[in-house]
A = this chain, B = another copy of it.
């Protein structure tokens, strides 16, 4: 059965999953690259498309990599919020923006981009971006249909993950707490009081200082 999985969602120790002031140059706002500093050195990250040949396949093989390496396994579709695709708000006035990922995005699958504003579907390399105005339930149903028996990854950002958690649709939630105090940005945990009662939680600290939380939804 198709599971809905969140991977590598990093939050600061004060609960912010992205900083303030997102722009084309700063996808994480004032957080810069600090929330993902545990991720970039991993073998899994350096093996993704878009890296130069020299970096390709290098990288660490410790616990951070072990978690990062599970990101794509068995995934057929990604669902993401509009702010993960780009910093635009309101109607799509300029459709030349094709995401942060260059000409061969790392998805290689359909990606449903949740937006209230219509935009034609977009093929970039092996990835097709489908822009849809849908509730979490509707988005998951469409994704499940497209996934052909594989799992669906909920790619973030924090607002979208929070909405899917509120609707109790997330089966696997991998959160990475990074030991920085971000101070401002978008909070992940708001409105999710007592979330842990619906999940089993396993915790692993990495020498990098990142702490990996795996929330597995309890069987109903």
Which A residues fall within an 8 A CB radius of B? 13-15, 177, 179-184, 187-196, 201-206, 209, 211, 213
User: Which residues from chain B contact A196 at a C-beta distance below 8 Å?
Assistant: 179-181
Chain B residues whose CB sits within 8 angstroms of the CB of A195 once the complex forms? 181
CB-based contact A194/B183 at 8 Å: yes
Our pick among B13, B183, B189 for the contact of A177 (Cβ within 8 Å) is B13
Q: Which residues of B contact A203 (CB under 8 A)?
A: 179, 205-206, 209, 211
Known: A13-B15, A15-B14. A181 touches B209 (CB 8 A): no
When distances are taken between beta carbons in the complex, the residues of chain B under 8 Å from A190 are 14
Cβ contacts under 8 Å, A194 to chain B: 180-181, 183
Which residues of the other chain, B, contact A13 by a CB distance below 8 angstroms? 15, 177, 189, 213
> Is B211 a contact partner of A205 (Cβ separation < 8 A)?
yes
With A183-B191, A211-B211 already in contact, 19 other A-B pairs whose C-beta atoms are closer than 8 Å: A13-B15, A13-B177, A13-B213, A14-B187, A14-B189, A14-B190, A14-B192, A15-B189, A177-B177, A179-B201, A179-B213, A180-B194, A180-B196, A181-B189, A181-B194, A183-B193, A184-B193, A205-B205, A205-B211
Instruction: Give A185 Cβ to nearest chain B Cβ, in Å.
Output: 10
Per the bound structure, the CA–CA distance linking A213 and B183 in Å amounts to 18
CB of A183 to closest CB in B, whole Å:
3
Q: Could you jot down 12 A-B contacts, CB within 8 Å?
A: A13-B177, A13-B213, A14-B187, A14-B188, A15-B15, A179-B213, A181-B193, A183-B192, A184-B193, A201-B209, A203-B211, A211-B211
